[in-house]
Structure 1
Amino acid sequence: MDLTGNTILVTGGGSGIGRGLAEALHRAGNRVVIAGRRRGALQAVADANPGIEYRQLDLAEPDSITRLAAELISSTPGLNVLVNNAGVMHTEDLRTGATALAEIAEATVTVNLLGPMRLTAALLPTLLGQPRAAIVNVTSALAFVPKTSAPSYSATKAALHAYTQSLRHKLRGTRVQVIEIIPPRVETDMLTGQDPGPDTMPLDYFVAETMSLLRNDPDAAEIVVEAAKRVRYAARDGHYEAVFDLVNP
């Protein structure tokens, strides 16, 4: 993926990793559109970064996805990069068996998995028509070693990883590159109320290392910062059980 001269949509661009990536891509010389549910957060990013545009999007609502895709196809015909970043994470205790757990799981699957799949499907014809294009899916190291207090989140990220692999295979030979960004535990609003812990990576460091990896290897299929490697490659390196215990003390 070339890091300049693109027109990029970043979902969940109002905060956290989405905002960090959107701002870095904007500074690199791209036209960036951010999308999310909270107009105030989106406006704050746009105000702080003249030139970044924003649209409202609720990934839990298929109609919202359809409307955004149609509007972007009309207003930004040069759109050639989709960054599926938006997501939700909830703490769950699977021992309770409460009805609320099923509702949390359904909401998490809808936003974290079905949302990116629906948005990708809606924009794929446009991306395929560009001279060069990319789909960037932001998953998580927890796709590879789950956190038992966030089982639905971990499961959706594992599923998004599988979907990304399938999409990459199906789009081989086209002009659309498929990239998976696999963050470790990053210091964002998603951790509000939790102890960040010593293994949490500052957001600025994560964004800087991610951009560096993209720049140094524009053909990369996966972007794995150093702090995520132990978890991402736990099974391959033969220490899955030890890493599982570290993730779930």
Structure 2
Amino acid sequence: MKSTGNTILITGGGSGIGRALAHRWHDAGSSVIITGRRQQMLDDAIAGRERMAAYILDVTVADEVDAFVRKVLADHPRLNILVNNAGIYSAEKITAHRDISDAEAMIQTNIVGPIRMTNALIDHLSAQPGAAIINMSSGLAFVPYPAAPTYSATKAALHSYTAAIRPLLKGRVEVIEIVPPQVQTELTPGQSTDPSSMPLDEFADEVMALLHAENTPAEICVERVRYFREAEAKGQYDEALEMLAKYS
């Protein structure tokens, strides 16, 4: 992936990891487009940055995605990188009958959303120089968190989807997966100040260094997520799952 001169679209770019990476890409000399569902957060994220633009978008609404893609390509015809970052999290207690609307929302946002965005932009991206699709999974794609089984499953699905499309797009669109550990964001209440979570700036800096290496890895794994990413291969899967179960 080239390190500058891109036009990058980041879903869920108004806060957290999306916002941190958006600012770093912008600082490195790329034009950056962010989307989200809250106008004020988007406005705050692009304030004072001339090569940044923001659009309201809910990736779970097919018609809204189609209209957005027509608009954004008319406004930014050189768009060459899609970052599927938008995601939501809900803890779940699955041991008794419950309302599963939160689980359905996570599936629609975390996995159907990236599939929909990829489908809407694939023809355009395939014709652009330096094109890439970057999908944001999680360490929980590799060892699930029992307190959040559907969230973990959506991230495992996104990992699988990303790996599957990579050989199909080889030579046309670079396909990259970012695998975060738990990072200090507002994904869950109190997570942004949790000392056991990786500081957001530290995470974003390490990600950018890996992305802009001479040969960008297919998977961007910061050191703090490697225990989970490599747990099965190293025979530590049961140990890691048991550790996560203690927090459930």
Fold-level match, TM-score > 0.5? yes
Once residues 180 and 218 of structure 1 are traced to their aligned partners in structure 2, the CA distance between those partners, rounded to angstroms, is 14
2:47 aligned with 1:34, yes or no? no
Structure 1 pair 155/31, CA: closer, same or farther in 2 (3 Å)?
Answer: same
2:74 aligned with 1:77, yes or no? no
Once residues 195 and 161 of structure 1 are traced to their aligned partners in structure 2, the CA distance between those partners, rounded to angstroms, is 25
2:235 aligned with 1:238, yes or no? yes
1:214 is matched with 211
Secondary structure, aligned partner of 2:183: coil
2:21 aligned with 1:21, yes or no? yes
Deviations 1:190-238 (A, max 9, x none): 1224596543100000000000111224331000000000001100111
Give the drift of 1:67.
Answer: 1.1
Structure 1 pair 24/195, CA: closer, same or farther in 2 (3 Å)?
Answer: closer
1:34-53 alignment runs, 5 A limit: 34-53=34-53
Which amino acid is the alignment partner of residue 14 of structure 1? G
Once residues 74 and 50 of structure 1 are traced to their aligned partners in structure 2, the CA distance between those partners, rounded to angstroms, is 18
Which amino acid is the alignment partner of residue 109 of structure 1? I
Secondary structure, aligned partner of 2:216: coil
Q: Is the 2:126–2:172 contact (alpha carbons within 8 Å) kept by the matching residues of 1?
A: yes
Give the drift of 1:247.
Answer: 2.0
Deviations 1:126-158 (A, max 9, x none): 000012200000000000001111111100000
Give the drift of 1:96.
Answer: 2.3
Which amino acid is the alignment partner of residue 85 of structure 2? N
2:191 aligned with 1:186, yes or no? no
Deviates more, 1:70-79 or 1:42-51: 42-51
Structure 1: 4+ residue segments shifted above 6 A: none
Secondary structure, aligned partner of 2:116: helix
TM-score, normalising length: structure 2: 0.95
2:172 is matched with 175
Match of 2:101 among 79, 100, 103: 103
1:127 is matched with 125
2:145 is matched with 147
Q: Is the 2:183–2:192 contact (alpha carbons within 8 Å) kept by the matching residues of 1?
A: no
Q: Across the two proteins, how many residue pairs are aligned to each other?
A: 246
2:115 aligned with 1:117, yes or no? yes
1:136 is matched with 134
Once residues 220 and 245 of structure 1 are traced to their aligned partners in structure 2, the CA distance between those partners, rounded to angstroms, is 30
Which amino acid is the alignment partner of residue 223 of structure 1? I
1:4 is matched with 4
Give the drift of 1:49.
Answer: 3.3
Which amino acid is the alignment partner of residue 189 of structure 1? E
Secondary structure, aligned partner of 1:189: coil
Instruction: In structure 2, list runs of 5 or more residues that go unmatched.
Output: none
Same amino acid, percent of matched pairs: 44
TM-score, normalising length: structure 1: 0.95
Which amino acid is the alignment partner of residue 43 of structure 2? Q
1:62 is matched with 62
Q: Is the 1:2–1:218 contact (alpha carbons within 8 Å) kept by the matching residues of 2?
A: no
Give the drift of 1:51.
Answer: 2.7
Which amino acid is the alignment partner of residue 22 of structure 2? A
Secondary structure, aligned partner of 1:114: helix
Q: Is the 1:80–1:132 contact (alpha carbons within 8 Å) kept by the matching residues of 2?
A: yes
